[in-house]
Amino acid sequence: MNISKNQSLPLIGWREYLALPQLGVKDIKAKIDTGAKTSALHAFNVNVVERENQKIVEFEIHPIQKDNQTSVLTTAPLLEYRTVKNSGGISETRPVIETKIILGDISWAIALTLTNRDSMGFRMLLGRGAVKNRFLVDTGNSFLHHYNC
Task: Sketch the domain layout of the chain as residue ranges.
Answer: 10-138
The pTM of this model reads 0.88
Distances (CA, A) of 7 to 15, 109, 133, 136: 20, 23, 11, 9
Question: What's the confidence (pLDDT) of residue 146?
Answer: 66
Helix (H) or strand (E) holding 128: helix 128-131
pLDDT of residue 147: 55
Per CATH, the architecture of 10-138 is what? Answer: Beta Barrel (2.40)
Other C-beta atoms within 10 Å of 44: how many?
15
Q: What is the pLDDT of residue 8?
A: 85
Q: Give, for all 149 residues of the chain, the pLDDT tens digit.
A: 344 555 689 999 999 999 999 999 999 999 999 988 899 999 999 999 999 999 999 999 999 888 889 999 999 999 999 998 877 788 989 999 999 999 998 999 999 999 988 777 799 999 999 999 999 999 999 999 865 54
> What confidence score (pLDDT) does residue 7 get?
65
